Amino acid sequence: MWVVYAGEEPVSAHPAVPVPLAALVERADLSQRMRPEEVPAVKDRVAAVKDSAAATARKVVKRHR
């Protein structure tokens, strides 16, 4: 769920949901907001998932040796 802000005001949510924006952000930790330039690129997110999966696989192999 992404909430789009204009300054401090929520203006829309993506994907669209049948819940008022005020209710969506009522208890949100706004210090966790990310600006578009702060969101990791898709290739970086994919690399992070691959690294995590490889690390998990190494742990599993190590346990069974």
State both tokens at 23. Answer: 């209710």
More confident residue, 15 or 53: 15
What's 35-49 look like in SS3? CHHHCCCHHHHHHHH
The 10s digit of each residue's pLDDT in 16-61 is 889 999 998 999 888 888 887 888 888 888 888 888 887 787 887 7
Q: So what's the pLDDT on residue 11?
A: 92
pLDDT at 31: 87
